[in-house]
C-alpha cells in the first residue's frame, strides 16, 4: 500500500465495463453450464487485475474491482444476505425511461442478517491483494433492500411493519460494515440511490399509492443508514452514491436534490457523497449549501458515463466553481455521475472511452486542486 490515504480529489463510483471474455464466460457458466465455477472465477480474476492496472495507470489513488463479478450493482449483494432470495419471474422488471431492467425480484423469506461468508468479503480481499493504492468496494445501501422489494414479496409477516424491517436491515448492515473492516476495508461505499428517486414526483406518487409517506421514508432511510454505520471505526470512511438510474444509458427518475439534501448531509453521518449532476434532470447545485463545514466531501458528477463525448476541463472548472459558491471548495472533489456498468450489460461506450473519462477525472482534479 502507498502512504496515501483517502479521501482523494479524484474518485469514481465503482462499476466498469465487462470485458468480452467475462461476458462470454458468464454465459457459459450460468446459461450453457459448459464451464466450471473455478474456470469462471479465473477469467474474472484476470479481468479484475487488468481493471486495477488501468485505474492505477490513469492516476487514480483509489480503485475498485469494477463489480466485474456481478450481474447487478445491488441485487448480487442483496441476494446473498440471509433471509433474501432473488426470484426471476415473467413479469416486467423495474421501469426505466424507454426500457425495463431484467426481471429479478428480491424476496424476503426469513429473518434478515449478514452472513459471515458473504461472497463480497472475498471479492474485497482479492482486490486488496492486487493494488498498490487504496482498494474500495461498493455495496448497495440499506434503503435499496426496501425500495426494490415489492410489498407482495415481503413474505415475513412481522416485516410488514417497516419499523421492524428497517431495524433488522440496519442491524444486518452493521455486521456488514464490521466484516468488511475486519477484511481490511477502510473505504466502503454504500450506494443509496433511492434518495434521489424520492425527489421525483412520479416515484413519490408511487409510494403514496403504496401507503407510505415519501417524506417519512426519506427520514427513515437516513436513520437506517446512520444506524448501520454508527459503530464504524474511526479510520473507516463511508461513501454514498446517489443517482437517478443507469441501465444501458437509460434513466429512471428526475428531480433536484432539494427535498433530501439537508437530510442526507446531516442525518446519515456519511463521509463522502457522490452525486449525479450530468443533466438538467438533477437540478442545480444550490442544495449543496446544506453541507456543514467540516471533513465531509461532495463529488459532483459533472462527468457523464452515458456518452463518449469528453467534457472540457474549462467547463468542469467552471461547474466546480459554481458548486464552490455553496460549499467550501476544500470539501469538493470530482467523479463521474455514475458507474460505467451498473449492470453487466454496461453503457454504450468503449473501454478506451471509459479510460479517457477516468483520465479526465484525474486531470480535472489536478487542474483544480493540484492533486488527484
What are residue 299's DSSP bridge partners?
274
Q: Tell me, what CATH number does 64's domain have?
A: 3.20.20.210
CA-nearest of 124, 118, 137, 126 to 6 is: 137
In a domain, 69, yes or no: yes
- Range of the structural domain that residue 238 is part of: 20-369
Stronger pLDDT, 330 or 2, i.e. the higher one: 330
Q: Is the pLDDT confidence value at 98 over 60?
A: no
pTM for the predicted model, two decimal places: 0.93
Q: Is the pLDDT confidence value at 283 over 70?
A: yes
Cα separations (Å) of 361 from 48, 57, 68, 358, 371? Answer: 21, 13, 21, 5, 11
Q: Which three cell numbers stand for residue 273?
A: 457523497
Is residue 273 a contact partner of residue 240, using CB atoms and an 8 Å limit? yes
How far apart are the C-alpha atoms of 368 and 324, rounded to whole Å?
Answer: 12
Q: Which three cell numbers stand for residue 93?
A: 422488471
For residue 246, what pLDDT is reported?
A: 62
How far apart are the C-alpha atoms of 40 and 91, rounded to whole Å?
Answer: 29
Burial of 6 (0-12, 13-18, 19+ CB in 10 A): middle
Per-residue pLDDT tens over the stretch 333-365: 999 999 999 889 888 899 999 999 999 999 999
What are residue 88's DSSP bridge partners?
104
Q: Which three cell numbers stand for residue 229?
A: 454505520
φ and ψ at 300, to 5 degrees? -70, 125
Q: Any residues with CB less than 8 A from the CB of 213 and at least 6 apart, and which? A: 207
In a domain, 3, yes or no: no
In a domain, 67, yes or no: yes
Residue indicated by cell numbers 469514481: 12
Per-residue pLDDT tens over the stretch 9-51: 999 999 999 999 999 999 999 999 999 999 999 999 999 999 9
Per-residue pLDDT tens over the stretch 99-144: 555 678 899 999 999 999 999 999 999 999 999 999 999 999 999 9
**Count: domains in the chain:** 1
In a domain, 52, yes or no: yes
Q: Pairing state of beta strands 99-100 and 95-96?
A: antiparallel
In a domain, 15, yes or no: no
In a domain, 247, yes or no: yes
CA-nearest of 299, 296, 248 to 278 is: 299
In a domain, 281, yes or no: yes
Amino acid at each position: 500500500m502507498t502512504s496515501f490515504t483517502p479521501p482523494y480529489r479524484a474518485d469514481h463510483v465503482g462499476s466498469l465495463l465487462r470485458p468480452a471474455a467475462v461476458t462470454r464466460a458468464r454465459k457459459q457458466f450460468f446459461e450453457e453450464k459448459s464451464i466450471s465455477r473455478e474456470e469462471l472465477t479465473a477469467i474474472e480474476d484476470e479481468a479484475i487485475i487488468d481493471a486495477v492496472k488501468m485505474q492505477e495507470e490513469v492516476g487514480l489513488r483509489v480503485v475498485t474491482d469494477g463489480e466485474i463479478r456481478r450481474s447487478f450493482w445491488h441485487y448480487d449483494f442483496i441476494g446473498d444476505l440471509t433471509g433474501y432470495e432473488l426470484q426471476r419471474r415473467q413479469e416486467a422488471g423495474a421501469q426505466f425511461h424507454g426500457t425495463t431492467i431484467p426481471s429479478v425480484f428480491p424476496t424476503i423469506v426469513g429473518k434478515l442478517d449478514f452472513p459471515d461468508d458473504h461472497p463480497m468479503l472475498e471479492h474485497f480481499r482479492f482486490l486488496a491483494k492486487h493494488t498498490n493504492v487504496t482498494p474500495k468496494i461498493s455495496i448497495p445501501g440499506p434503503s435499496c433492500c426496501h425500495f426494490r422489494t415489492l410489498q407482495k414479496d415481503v413474505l415475513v409477516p412481522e416485516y410488514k411493519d417497516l419499523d421492524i424491517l428497517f431495524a433488522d436491515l440496519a442491524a444486518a448492515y452493521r455486521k456488514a460494515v464490521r466484516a468488511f473492516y475486519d477484511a481490511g476495508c477502510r473505504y466502503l461505499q454504500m450506494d443509496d440511490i433511492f434518495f434521489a428517486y424520492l425527489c421525483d414526483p412520479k416515484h413519490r406518487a408511487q409510494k403514496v399509492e403504496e401507503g407510505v409517506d415519501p417524506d417519512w421514508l426519506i427520514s427513515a432511510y437516513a436513520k437506517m443508514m446512520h444506524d448501520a454505520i454508527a459503530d464504524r471505526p474511526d479510520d473507516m470512511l463511508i461513501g454514498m452514491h446517489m443517482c437517478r438510474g443507469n441501465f444501458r444509458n437509460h434513466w429512471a427518475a428526475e428531480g433536484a436534490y432539494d427535498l433530501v439534501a439537508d437530510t442526507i448531509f446531516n442525518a446519515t453521518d456519511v463521509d463522502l457523497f457522490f452525486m449525479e449532476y450530468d443533466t438538467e434532470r438533477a437540478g442545480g447545485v444550490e442544495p449543496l449549501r446544506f453541507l456543514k463545514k467540516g471533513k465531509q466531501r461532495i463529488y459532483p458528477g459533472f462527468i457523464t458515463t452515458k456518452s463518449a463525448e469528453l467534457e472540457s476541463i474549462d467547463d468542469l472548472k467552471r461547474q466546480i466553481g459554481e458548486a464552490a459558491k455553496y460549499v467550501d471548495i476544500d470539501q469538493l472533489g470530482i467523479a463521474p455521475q455514475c458507474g460505467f456498468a451498473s449492470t453487466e450489460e454496461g453503457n454504450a461506450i468503449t473501454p478506451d472511452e471509459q479510460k479517457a473519462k477516468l483520465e479526465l477525472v484525474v486531470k480535472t482534479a489536478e487542474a483544480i486542486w493540484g492533486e488527484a
